[in-house]
């Protein structure tokens, strides 16, 4: 049977939940979700959001510690190339009804679900559909337009928030890219809060 990493319940300090693709090798070693560089980048994103000029945004993100928030994955099964030749869950895995019911239960008391990456986006849409079918209100708002926070995905961002090119070898490159993600998220949240 495939090894799994369960979600992080958080400390109920915020109505925000985060969803990623699946646990990987770093998560397996740590025994918890969103470890390694992706976890560090989530903490960095939370730090940037905590400095927002918008008070409502700061209230949604009162801590820069990712484990203070609910964090889940589109699949709770561990994947990485040395284990099973892939680092991502298959569509049949994250769209399986039992998996969607798991996500539905985990996200039940959240107001905003922020999905990072394609698999989390697709799983979020399927869970959102489940909420609509069950006519549950209120239901979470799913934010699905953000890139994954892995370095591989972040490195696809080539310009900073001011439109300046992020140069190769720039020691602040990751922070600049995280600020772009924070701006994307802030703009979306400002429309709905």
Q: 144 lies in which domain range?
A: 16-192
Q: Count the domains in the chain.
A: 1
DSSP readout, 86-137?
A: -SS--HHHHTSHHHHHHHHHHTTT-SEEEEESHHHHHHHHHHHHHHHHTT-S
Structure confidence at residue 151 (pLDDT): 95
Q: What is the pLDDT along the chain (193 residues), one digit of tens a residue?
A: 689 999 999 999 999 999 999 999 999 999 999 999 999 999 999 999 999 999 999 999 999 999 999 999 999 999 999 999 999 999 999 999 999 999 999 998 899 999 999 999 999 999 999 888 888 788 999 999 999 999 999 999 999 999 999 999 999 999 999 999 999 999 999 999 9
- CA torsion 114→81→38→34, rounded to 10°? 70
CATH number where 175 lies: 3.40.470
Q: Is 2 a member of any domain?
A: no
Q: Is 29 a member of any domain?
A: yes
Q: Is 9 a member of any domain?
A: no
Buried b (16+ CB within 10 A) or exposed e, 155-192: eebeebeeeeebeeeeeebbebbbbbbbebbbebbeee
Q: Which residue has the tokens 């000029």?
A: 53
Q: Is 156 a member of any domain?
A: yes
Structure confidence at residue 176 (pLDDT): 98
Q: Is 102 a member of any domain?
A: yes
Q: Is 3 a member of any domain?
A: no
The residues with which 20 forms a beta bridge, in sequence order, are 73
Q: Is 8 a member of any domain?
A: no
Q: Is 126 a member of any domain?
A: yes
């Amino acid at each position: 049977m495939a090894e799994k990493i369960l979600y992080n319940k958080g400390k109920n300090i915020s109505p925000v939940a985060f969803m990623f693709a699946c646990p990987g090798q770093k998560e397996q070693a740590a025994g918890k979700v969103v470890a390694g560089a992706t976890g560090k980048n989530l903490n960095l994103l939370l730090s940037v959001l905590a400095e927002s000029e918008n008070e409502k945004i700061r209230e949604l993100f009162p801590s820069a510690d990712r484990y203070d928030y609910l964090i889940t994955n589109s699949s709770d099964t561990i994947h990485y190339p040395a284990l099973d030749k892939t680092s991502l869950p298959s569509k049949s895995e994250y769209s399986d009804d039992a998996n969607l019911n798991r996500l539905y239960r985990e996200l039940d008391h959240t107001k905003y679900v922020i999905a990072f990456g394609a698999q989390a986006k697709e799983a979020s849409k399927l869970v959102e559909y489940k909420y609509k079918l069950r006519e549950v209100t209120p239901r979470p708002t799913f934010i699905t337009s953000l890139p994954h926070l892995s370095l591989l995905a972040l490195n696809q961002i080539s310009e900073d928030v001011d439109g300046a090119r992020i140069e190769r070898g720039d020691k602040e490159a990751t922070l600049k890219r995280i600020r772009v993600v924070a701006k994307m998220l802030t703009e979306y949240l400002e429309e709905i809060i």
